[in-house]
Amino acid sequence: MERGLYIVPTPIGNLGDITHRALETLAAVTLIAAEDTRHSKKLLAHYGIETPLWAYHDHSSDTATQQLLARMASGDSVALISDAGTPLVSDPGFRLVRSAQDSGIRVFPLPGPCAAVTALSGAGLPTDRFFFEGFLPAKSAARRHRLESLAHQSGTLVIYEAPHRIAATLGDAVAILGEGREAVLARELSKSFETIRRGALGELLAWVTEDVNQQRGEQVLLLGPVADAVEPVVLSGKDRALLFRLAEELPPRKAAAIVADLSGLRTRDLYKMLTERDKN
Ligand code: SAM
């Protein structure tokens, strides 16, 4: 197998959720760098994979990173896995991937399970744009502060949360975003007690408060986009001049469509700019 660093996603609950390529890679590499080797041993044993494991987490010293890089430089292939899902997504690996790239070692990221994407695909919230926040701060004041800065995101927000904090986080979300904001709690995805519930934030808070079972297990909290999110349209001086000049010659929608093509902005925002100017 080609030498390099293979980023291998592993199941987030259901052991069946691992690709053929992931299993082939784990069996073929020289070494598997894992966040928690005891945890990963169980997965590997389940699939009869006997590749040696090496403990690697974000606190691993530079020496550990250098040793892995040296092994790859001398021809070894290394797979990086985390306890669950895709490495580097709220999991270790960033420093290793970057160092490998900087050392000229090829990085092969394999597609596979990720709780954020799984939750998003089953939530019933808009998916055309989403923002992955990962874990919010553990302390309420800092968490509220962060939620304030996220309040006007125009896409769906994806948040990871620990079971013992989910009620407190929902409480803070209600306080900052209002009880009416549409949200989804996706719990224990791919496992026996998988639950996906969509409702207003206030309803979800009441539900997890009344039924403590809903606070158990792994959780993804998704917050729907603000209904009337207004994103500032930032148009360069040149594009702005072009828009207004074209609008002198063409119908406004046509002018807006041409500048949208050139600037990457949305036709409807540019059209609105033109029509609102006409009102003033
Ligand atoms: N790297 C992982 C991924 O690709 O999703 C995430 C690792 S992060 C340390 C763990 C968090 O992911 C959990 O606290 C939870 O928010 C979320 N998570 C992981 N597995 C999950 C599952 N089966 N159901 C719901 N959320 C899950």
Same fold across 4-109 and 115-223: no
- Ligand 1 and 190: CB distance under 6 A: yes
- Ligand 1 and 13: CB distance under 6 A: yes
- Ligand 1 and 186: CB distance under 6 A: yes
Please state the φ and ψ torsions of residue 85, each to the nearest 5 degrees.
75, -155
Cα 15–21–26 angle (5° rounding)?
75
* pLDDT of res. 236: 85
Q: Which fold has domain 4-109?
A: Cobalt-precorrin-4 Transmethylase; domain 1 (3.40.1010)
- CATH class assigned to 115-223: alpha beta
- Ligand 1 and 17: CB distance under 6 A: no
Judge contact between 4 and 97, C-beta under 8 A: no
Closest of 108, 123, 198, 206 to residue 158, by C-alpha: 123
Closest of 5, 2, 9, 4 to residue 111, by C-alpha: 9
Give pLDDT tens digits for 126-171: 999 999 999 999 999 999 999 999 998 889 999 999 999 999 999 9
What is the chain's alpha carbon radius of gyration, rounded to the nearest angstrom? 24
12 CA distance to ligand 1 middle (Å): 7
Query: Could you tell me the pTM of the whole model?
Result: 0.83
For the chain, which residues make up each domain, given as ranges? 4-109, 115-223, 237-279
Give pLDDT tens digits for 190-214: 999 999 999 999 999 999 999 999 9
**Closest ligand 1 atom, CA of 190?**
23
81 CA distance to ligand 1 middle (Å): 14
* pLDDT of res. 237: 87
